[in-house]
Amino acid sequence: MNAASSRHLQRRLQLAFGVIVTVCTLALLYYVAQARQHVGADYTAMVTDVVRAQQDPVQLRQALESLVDGAAPPPLERLEALLWRIPRRIESLRRQLHRSDLAAEDYASLLEELERAADRLPVLEATVARWGQNAPEARSTEALLAQGLAVESDLAWAYSELNERLHQASADQRRLMERLTLAVGMLLALLVFAVGAVMLMLLRLHQQREAMRHQSRVDALTGLANRRRLQEAAEEAFARRQRHPSPLGLILLDLDHFKTINDAYGHPVGDGVLASFAATLQHQVRRGDIVARMGGEEFAILMPESDLEAGRLLAERIRLATRAMRLSGQAAGHRLTVSIGVAEAWDDEGFDGLYRRADQGLYHAKARGRDRIEAASTPRLSQAAKS
């Protein structure tokens, strides 16, 4: 029962530990997946916008050169679209940078450079507008190129620097998230270790408690049940008889002249004889019978589903087996005998009454010469004797 209880608790703790490990593992995997998906997402979006914006100065230079070279048709509409789009890109990037985790000092100078380029755009727009007029004197190639290349240079440098810094910030954030992921994994591992340690401690405490409980109900010398365990088993048996009436027998046994063995050969030899006798009893009884050492050389057998006659038969087998025992060592020449009292429970009595009558039978067996069996009377026999 002790081992079965410990195995049952161990299986439950192992199942609980497995569930905890599984949940922690799934939580860590989910965290890693989400971290990889979302880490640097803001920077990735800004880098994408910056890469698109980097095409603006390139397209501006190409459009200006085409216009100055007299391309047909003149790329005036493309220039106007670029000049309209560039300040809006700069404003969008400015808002994204303010919302990001970047320190303001990391991008303030670049924003100033972009804003200076945006401040030049109205002048460039005016020059492009005059260029579109039909009057040749309204066109100024030098002014158009100078203004356009200044804007293009400022934009190209600022976008290039901003792109590099955003990539660096994204890489830094990924490294930080990797460290955080490692820290979270270590915390979960510590949690699992702590839970496992607590569960192991609970299992050890349960095993120790069951071991102590087992020891409190078992005779240390013979390994049989002790008086306390016999009392518990008897209470359980009498409780079952109340629900389902059935016979219940009790045998009390006492080794004859056992004191002479201790006196002649010493207590270690006597302990060996008791252990051998206990093994003989265990060999004779049924699986459901409870064999107990009551103390000293006195033993008891509780026999569920056994009447007085079955008790007598078992007692006789034990008496003969005891006489046939071959002792070892210094006590090899000694022959054991046992006195036995047998009783069957009455309908209206408890264990104390049953024990008292079996003890009376044992007393009579001792008084009438030992190495014999005396059975206590049944209610039917008692009533017949009175009449």
DSSP letter for 135, please: -
The residue from 113, 297, 344, 374 that is catalytic is 297
Q: How many CB atoms lie within 10 A of CB 131?
A: 19
> Looking at the chain, how many residues does it have?
387
Residue 300 and residue 230 in contact, taking contact as beta carbons nearer than 8 Å? yes
3-state SS assignment for residue 146: helix
Describe the strand order of the beta sheet including 298-304 as a list of residue ranges.
290-295, 298-304, 248-255, 338-344, 373-375
298 has catalytic annotation: no
Phi, psi of 30 (to 5 degrees): -65, -40
Question: Burial letters for 212-249: b for 16+ Cβ neighbours within 10 Å, e otherwise?
Answer: eeeeebbbeebebbbeebbbebbeebeeeeeeeeebbb
Ordered DSSP codes for 64-133: HHHHHTT-SS-THHHHHHHHHHHHHHHHHHHHHHHHSSS-HHHHHHHHHHHHHHHHHHHHHHHHHHHHTS
Spatial CB neighbours of 232, under 8 Å, sequence gap ≥ 6? 217
Closest by Cα among 221, 378, 226 to 300: 226
Q: How far apart are CA 165 and CA 171, in angstroms?
A: 10
Residue 290 and residue 225 in contact, taking contact as beta carbons nearer than 8 Å? yes
Phi, psi of 289 (to 5 degrees): -75, 150
Closest by Cα among 156, 161, 80, 91 to 119: 91
Question: Which amino acid is present at 336?
Answer: L
Residue 111 and residue 95 in contact, taking contact as beta carbons nearer than 8 Å? no
Question: Which amino acid is present at 382?
Answer: S
**Active-site residue numbers?**
297
